[in-house]
Chain A
């Protein structure tokens, strides 16, 4: 399109210019393109191929093709189904809490409140704090023996020692992950809220709608595409959570890994242990590909529900129930 700017130049020159532009395009993206091929596509393929073998990292010379054995084995492994269920529970608890809280915060911040900018910055702060530091910081509150929370409860009921990060590991992890993610969700929702046309809200107010009705019938439908995106990303992230349970159990090195409490024995933790403690590379890669398929299915399901609750310009009119 842009070549036409060159105006009167002969056709051959135009072509040359567009060829030159193509050349520049590929020249400039070549580092990234090469990286994409060799550092994303290639490992992805190799991972899948190795999931069809009995690879353990050392048996490259006498590698055996085992077909889908690793996948069949995954379905017979009781720890896989157990950890998959734990992972779903983790996702279905942590993601809605994250969505609701960050949305509420954004709604409040969207009002004309003094010091809005400062609050916005402070709420985002936990999101820039490294995950290890977040866990250590929360340990100073939630630790069973020396944490401040048990110390506080101890004042009322002496001798209380609740393992917030062991007996209630899932709940503890939800608290930590919400703390870390809240600011991000809030920033995104706030930005989307500020895109909502003022007139629409004003018109509803003149028609006598109260604040709750405005949120329910105007703001929520208009925000639903953003909520949808956050829901999808949140679910995808929650299915592959491995950081938090790993840090909470502090494995000094991955070969002598400690096993997390059963509550947070997530799917990726099981996979991690298969790969790094048991050196079952083939089996571990099969588990990873099963996770990938699960992510695709879950995303597909969420996309399918989209038509029932996500507002779009075409079907938007008759949606108010």
Chain B
């Protein structure tokens, strides 16, 4: 009896200690975001003052208005959105189609074929990216968005894997019934598989759009300043016409930059985390 209560006490204590650690970790993890938002509300003169002013005297919400009307920011955000959406749609389509083939029309060698692709993921990204840039530059395809179109058309092994895992769970009877009714494979895919795959489609769309939205290295290499995407634009602080850096304005821009992926993540977090686990545990 005594042992039992002691155990229970330890369990309760462990739970409390765990909860404390989790709350402290949450604060620690959120700290940079909080300080970013606080700093983005300062005047630049406050930002550069010594000793450091922790909180702005008057929160400069106008920073957000200014950065949204700043051509360099607004145009880059617009370009990135306009590139990200078609990229996400195309790559989701081609990846879904390939995932469908791997799940539903496997040929004897398809497992090996896919194994080769997974094995090639060990190749460092830059070993492929740099020669791709060199070749595309010869064809004058750099400084255009064509590389993204081509990459999207090619799909991605990671997304294909997600679709394959998802499609494997569809009952065979559904397909057979449709086939008896005279549906071709493409129609089965479009009318039976796709409409029932909202979670995986949402997940892949999120990953794909975020891949463009959050990208830094690829646009830095492939694009010049006049078509540059938002990530690269924000990596260099904005300057006013006299060449003085506008740090707090850049930070306001960064807060806006964070919003789309975070909101999308909150909306679909259950599916997204599931997708992360599927690819991370088996990939």
Contact = CB atoms under 8 A, between A and B. Distances in A.
B195 interface: no
A289 interface: yes
Contacts of A123: 25-26, 29
Given A25-B106, A35-B151, A60-B138, A130 B258 contact: yes
Nearest to B232: A132
Chain A contact residues, majority secondary structure: helix
Contacts of B127: 44, 47, 288-289, 291-292
A32 B254 contact: no
Contacts of B110: 25
A126 interface: yes
Interface in B116-141: 117, 120, 122-132, 134-135, 137-138
Contacts of A39: 128, 132, 150-151, 154
Given A105-B25, A133-B258, A188-B280, A28 B122 contact: no
A242 B15 CA distance: 40
Interface residues of B, number: 91
Contact of A148 (B35, B154, B250, B276): B35
Given A137-B33, A151-B52, A44 B123 contact: yes
A321 interface: no
A124 B262 CA distance: 10
Contact of B185 (A24, A112, A134, A147): A24
Interface string B19-62: 10110011001111101101100000001101110100000000
Contacts of B153: 31, 35
A200 interface: no
A149 B12 CA distance: 35
Contact of A140 (B35, B221, B224): B35
A291 B130 CA distance: 13
Contact of A132 (B38, B102, B107, B234): B234
Given A47-B128, A288-B127, A291-B127, A28 B258 contact: no
B35 A137 contact: yes
Interface in A120-134: 120-126, 128-134
Contacts of A25: 101, 105-107, 110
A32 B102 CA distance: 12
18 contacts: A21-B107, A24-B101, A28-B100, A32-B154, A43-B131, A44-B128, A121-B273, A123-B29, A128-B262, A130-B258, A132-B231, A132-B232, A132-B234, A140-B32, A187-B273, A188-B280, A288-B124, A291-B126
Given A21-B105, A43-B131, A136-B251, 10 more contacts: A29-B98, A31-B155, A36-B154, A43-B132, A47-B130, A129-B258, A133-B258, A146-B47, A187-B276, A292-B123
Interface of A: 5, 21-22, 24-29, 31-32, 34-36, 38-40, 42-44, 46-47, 50, 55, 57, 60, 105, 108-109, 111-114, 119-126, 128-138, 140-141, 145-148, 150-151, 154, 158, 179, 182, 184, 187-188, 191-192, 211, 226, 229, 236, 239-240, 242-243, 246-247, 250, 252-254, 268, 271, 275-276, 281, 284-285, 288-289, 291-292, 295-296, 299
